[in-house]
Amino acid sequence: MPQEFGNRLRALQRRLNQSGAGALLVTHLPNVYYLSGFTGSAGALVVEPRSATLFTDGRYSVQAREQLHSSGVNASISQVNPLEAAGSILKGLKGSASRRTTILDPSRITVAGRGTLSRAAGRRVKWQNSTGWVEEMRTIKSRGEITKIRAAARLISKVFDQVVKLVRPGITELDLAAEVDYRMRKLGASGPSFDTIIASGPRAALPHAQPTAKRLRQNELVVLDMGAILARYCSDLTRTVYLGRAPRRVKQWYKAVLDAQKAAQEALAIENVAEQPDAAARRVLDSCGLGQYFVHSTGHGLGLEVHEEPRLAKGQRKRLMPGMVVTIEPGVYVEGIGGIRIEDDVAIHAGRIEVLTTAPRELLEL
């Protein structure tokens, strides 16, 4: 595993060298970690064809030395803003205009940061905007990475199994969310991969509801959407339960969402374009007259971040490939009544898929 950082860095350096540019600046911290192993909360990585340097501050001098050991990245500790320090090194790029070019991802830097960089680097440096070099590499997970995501998925499934026992009329959404967060840490997670969602009754119709002081009541749908970070990798799980005996209409909706999820998973196993699982889920919900209530995309990549490439959505032409890990999470949301979402994490292997989350999928009537 440790040599993985160095291997990724070398792959990126080959691409950089082919591009003819002199350097690539990495400012997005999950990308910095992916290439170097550095986990600090401040830093910028300058990758050149034959070397790489992490710029960070004095808080991280010991940590940087330890963590960069396996990737071979140099550490540069300074008192100034890492972008200012990186800019002064880039100022030293020599040679043709192309060798004096630094590639950076404009979606990963603030306007202020971009200004700092330009002032520090001076006039001779050329800048080229290009997005997604590292994100693209990150879409294909190694076996070691999939093992970590699997462990995070199992962990969050366990949390669901524990917390579902507490779902009853009278408990508040906030109380349940606190139980989710507490239990995932007790099981070894470093924290939630996003703010835990507990949404009950009409609030379940809001796909990204925040938990409130509202108490759960009899005859309500409850959406529980939770994810854990374990060994830096994320999981993401949603289940919807009903408090009491579900009416026929709710059972029909639930079955439609579950069928849509199955159809999307089947498409994921046999198709190879990112929009196809989404289209499959949408076809099922359309045929049940529920298409208008499915207001988000079918899934997203999962890894060091809880939302990453590829997106399983309309118009996404990205190729699905072994090593990708995605969520499959169709839902229906009916204003004033409630919502249903069922979400699992799925790894794509050569010729098959593997569902990593294990919580029960049938409708639980509690």
Rounded to the nearest whole angstrom, what is the least distance from the CB of residue 236 to Mn ion in the complex? Answer: 4
Rounded to the nearest whole angstrom, what is the least distance from the CB of residue 51 to Mn ion in the complex? Answer: 38
Rounded to the nearest whole angstrom, what is the least distance from the CB of residue 330 to Mn ion in the complex? Answer: 11
Q: Which residues of 101-124 are buried (b: 16+ CB within 10 A; e: fewer)?
A: bbbbbeebbeeebeebbeebbeee
Is the CB of 135 or the CB of 308 nearer to Mn ion?
308
Site string for Mn ion, 102-131 (x = CB under 5 A): ------------------------------
In angstroms, rounded to a whole number, what is the distance separating the alpha carbons of residues 75 and 64?
6
Q: Is the dihedral of CA 243, 248, 250, 254 positive or negative?
A: positive
Question: Which ranges of 187-312 would DSSP assign to H, the alpha helix?
Answer: 248-270, 275-287
Q: Is the dihedral of CA 179, 180, 181, 185 positive or negative?
A: positive
Residue choice 71, 81, 235, 327 for contact with Mn ion (CB under 5 A): 327
Which range touches Mn ion (CB under 5 A), out of 18-26, 44-52, 246-254, 322-330?
322-330
Residue choice 84, 236, 275, 345 for contact with Mn ion (CB under 5 A): 236
Which range touches Mn ion (CB under 5 A), out of 72-80, 250-258, 320-328, 334-342?
320-328
Neighbours of 137 (CB within 10 A): 15
Rounded to the nearest whole angstrom, what is the least distance from the CB of residue 336 to Mn ion in the complex? Answer: 24
Cβ neighbours of residue 66 closer than 8 Å, sequence gap 6 or more: none
Rounded to the nearest whole angstrom, what is the least distance from the CB of residue 327 to Mn ion in the complex? Answer: 4
Rounded to the nearest whole angstrom, what is the least distance from the CB of residue 225 to Mn ion in the complex? Answer: 7
Which range touches Mn ion (CB under 5 A), out of 168-176, 180-188, 319-327, 354-362?
319-327
By beta-carbon distance, which residue lies closest to Mn ion? 236
Rounded to the nearest whole angstrom, what is the least distance from the CB of residue 329 to Mn ion in the complex? Answer: 5
148-167: which residues touch Mn ion (CB under 5 A)? none
Q: Which token pair is 293?
A: 């209530």
Q: What are the backbone dihedrals phi and psi of residue 273, each rounded to the nearest 5 degrees, phi first?
A: -125, 140
CA distances from 79 to 42, 67, 128, 276 (A): 12, 20, 27, 50
- The count of chain residues that interact with Mn ion, using the rule CB under 5 A, is 2
If phi > 0 it is left, if psi is from -120 to 50 it is alpha, else beta; for residue 219 that is left
**Residue 193 makes contact with Mn ion by CB under 5 A:** no
State in Å, rounded, how far the first CA of the chain is from the last one.
Answer: 43
Which range touches Mn ion (CB under 5 A), out of 33-41, 234-242, 255-263, 287-295?
234-242
In angstroms, rounded to a whole number, what is the distance separating the alpha carbons of residues 52 and 43?
13
Which range touches Mn ion (CB under 5 A), out of 13-21, 105-113, 244-252, 325-333?
325-333
Q: Which token pair is 200?
A: 């009950």
Rounded to the nearest whole angstrom, what is the least distance from the CB of residue 300 to Mn ion in the complex? Answer: 6
Interacting residues toward Mn ion by CB under 5 A: 236, 327
